[in-house]
Every structure is written in structure tokens, then in C-alpha cells.
Amino acid sequence: MATVPLDQGLLLAAILFTLGLVGVLARRNLLFILMSLEVMLNAAGVAFIVAGARWAAPGGQVMFILVLTLAATEVSVGLALILLMHRRIPTLDADAGDQLKG
């Protein structure tokens, strides 16, 4: 297996993270905001794996598993909330949340 410089891997993580950030900031649809959040969490996982590979330490993959757990929990609760909100207000607009009452 050929070697990969650490800075190239971290650069990939940084680009993926900022792309996810653009998605969270620019989109109005709640589904797309959740997808962009997944991209950002995945970029954090890439940074952990790259650093773990640099020093051949298992700690990077352990932290990736914890990030994966966080992402799975976040997306299941987030999607349940989207479904619940969609029953009350039939739109996916993130700005429509201010119409919720009590």
C-alpha cells in the first residue's frame, strides 16, 4: 500500500466539512439540512481516520465509531422530529417552525 501524506487527507476532511457547512447555511429544506449535517459529521470522521492512520494507532478508528454512533442517533431523532412536524404543518421549510404552538 502506497503512503498518503497526512495533509492531503486532512485537506479532504476540511473540504468535505465546508461543503456540509454551505449546505446547512444555504438550504431551507429540513431534509437537506440533515443530509448536510451528515456530511459534516462524516468529514470529522475522515479527520480522525487520517490522524489514526498517520500514527498507526487504533484510537482514530475508535473515535470514528463514536462519531458514527452520534450520527446514527442524531439522524434517527431528527427524522422523527421532521415527520412529527410534517403532520402539523405540511411543509419541509425550516422557517415554518415558528408556526408551532404549545
Q: If binding is defined by CB under 8 A, does position 27 make contact with another protein?
A: yes
The reply to whether 99 sits near another protein by the rule CB under 8 A is no
39 binds another protein (CB under 8 A): yes
Tell me how long the chain is.
102
Contact 49, 40 (CB under 8 A): no
Query: For residues 62 and 97, which CB has a smaller minimum distance to another protein in the complex?
Result: 62
Least distance between another protein and beta carbon 95 (Å): 10
Report in angstroms how near the CB of residue 85 gets to another protein at its nearest. Answer: 10
Query: Taking the complex as a whole, how short is the minimal distance between the CB of residue 50 and another protein, in angstroms?
Result: 6
Interaction of residue 62 with another protein, rule CB under 8 A: yes
Q: Which of 5, 3, 1, 6 is nearest to 47 (CA)?
A: 6
C-alpha cell at 84: 412529527
Using an 8 Å Cβ cutoff, are 74 and 65 in contact?
no
